[in-house]
Amino acid sequence: MKKQIILPALVAFVVSALTFGGFQYFQNNNKTIQIEHVNATPSSSVLYAQDKDGDFIPMDFTKVAAQTTDAVVHIKSTSTRPTSQNLYGQGQQIPDIFERFFGPEGVRPQQPQRPQRPQNPQARVGSGSGVIINKDGYIVTNNHVIDDAEDIEVTLYDNRTFKAKVIGTDPTTDLALIQIKEKNLPHIPFADSDNIKVGEWVVAVGNPFNLNSTVTAGIVSAKGRSINILREQYAIESFIQTDAAINPGNSGGALVRLDGSLVGVNTAIASPTGAYSGYGFAVPSNIVQKVVGDLLEYGTVQRGYLGAMIRGVDANLVKEKDLSVNTGVYLEKITENSAADEAGLQAGDVVVAINGNTIKTNADLLGNIAGYRPGEKIDITVNRGSKEKTFTVTLKNKSGNTELVAKESLALSQKLGAELQTLEEDVAKKLGLRGGVRVTKILPGTLRKSTNMQEGFIITSVDGKGVRTVEDLEKIVERKDGGVMVEGRYEDSDETFYYAFGLGA
């Protein structure tokens, strides 16, 4: 037994002595011990996912990163906006909802509907991302990234910089289209966002915290999300939710599938700190494509409206109304002479599908309708009294007809530096007016430079000539040269206001 114990101990002692002695020998003789490194693993892709055909594809993020990073740009926007003091007394500062998510990125707070005296103009610089969508320099981004900007600078992946011009904006979806003067640019093709599935891998590309060309990966966490971040009256929220890391500066960047196609434009994060905490939101590419198409063709978004007050179906509503379905959109009230009214929809109907697409939430309904223009027809399936019925609905515009916005009115908007809209009939009736033109948005240009007019102002006459529609205003202003006096009022005031400014021929 003693031999069996002593022999292993002796062997261990000899091995230890040789190891220590060898180390001392090499150290004392200044020898270098060479350690071999493996430069490549036997397999570069060990994870796989299935495509729509059931085929296995390697989850290689390097390929999609290489395909997309040079088509995502950095945007710097500069605006000069005065601090304002209300002429009726106390100055007002309205918090900006986007600053909770992105910091002060050039977003214009909603102004109170009272004339204000500008004071102490201050330069404001914001930054974000954008996606090149074709070789001719068209770039889609978020409206809040370039809103109110007087100077927009775009930096490409190769560090070239260009000045950009705004082609059009759509605050209701927080999208904007800009262009730089450059050809043959790398770009990202659109995917069909309706086909993306929850759980599918996606990659976010952008410039968070001014760190250019940052790529993060995650999955689609949910679809058709509404987070009530857009404060526009007719806001469309039907976001793709993802856990790919999105931070301030990512806004306007790309959310892409593994094949490199654009499935969304990153817009917001939900975070108590203002930095990534697991919840990012992107505008689906199908909505982006519709908005971009309208802005290119018309200069403004052509949006169809159903004409109904809606409410999402939940357990309380099912019990309250004794509904036979647990999901869908409840039509609480139908507007008279609206698209819904003329198609035969009724209050109490529950919308369950549009053109065969299942509708479970308000966001689903708004996102689907957002893809259509006034005059286009859609099939709406509703649950009525435990039975399903399908109605063909011809969508209308906000004014209650099927007309598209005329291209001619775009020249007027550019001349005045404002977005204009014929006053809704019901509002005109409530205010005791025969008509008018509402200034829905004031852009960098004549009105901003020469007046303190606020958004929401209703123009009722120009140089003493009555104005009922945008067309009336256009005819008066079209060949006007020199001084102009406009008269009107604000919806929440009985007072008449006058603004004077100059126009060139």
- The reply to whether 45 belongs to the active site is no
Cα torsion through 73, 203, 301, 293, rounded to 10 = 80
Point out the catalytic residue in the list 147, 148, 174, 349.
174
Q: In 405-481, at which residue ranges do the beta strands (DSSP E only) sit?
A: 418-422, 437-442, 458-462, 465-466
Q: 3-class SS at 145?
A: helix
Residue entry with tokens 């007050």: 309
> How many contiguous H segments (helices) and E segments (strands) does the chain have?
12, 26
Decide if 451 contacts 500 (C-beta within 8 A). Answer: yes
Q: How far is CA 236 from the centre of its chain?
A: 9
User: Is 251 among the catalytic positions?
Assistant: yes
Grouping H, G, I as helix, E, B as strand and the rest as coil, residue 69 is helix
CA gap 397, 402 in Å, rounded = 6
- Catalytic, out of 144, 221, 226, 285: 144
The beta strands (E) that lie in 181-302 are given as: 201-206, 214-225, 239-242, 254-256, 262-269, 280-284
| E strand segments, 402-464 | 418-422, 437-442, 458-462
Phi, psi of 26 (to 5 degrees): -65, -35
**322 neighbors 206 (Cβ within 8 angstroms):** no
What is the DSSP pairing of strand 214-225 with strand 138-142? unpaired
CB contact at 8 A, 214 and 208: yes
Residue 146's SS3 state is helix
| Block residue for tokens 């099927």 | 402
Angle at 17 between CA 16 and CA 20, to 5 degrees: 85
Quickly list DSSP for 306-360.
Answer: --EEEEE--HHHHHHHT-S-SSSEEEEEE-TTSHHHHHT--TT-EEEEETTEE--
Which amino acid would we find at residue 357?
A: N
Task: Pick the catalytic residue from 84, 251, 338, 413.
Answer: 251
Residue among 471, 400, 472 nearest 429 (CA) = 400
User: How far apart, in whole angstroms, are the C-alpha atoms of residue 405 and residue 440?
Assistant: 15
Residues 6+ apart with CB under 8 A from 483: 500, 501, 502, 503
Q: Are 57 and 50 in contact (CB under 8 A)?
A: yes
Residues with a known catalytic role: 144, 174, 251
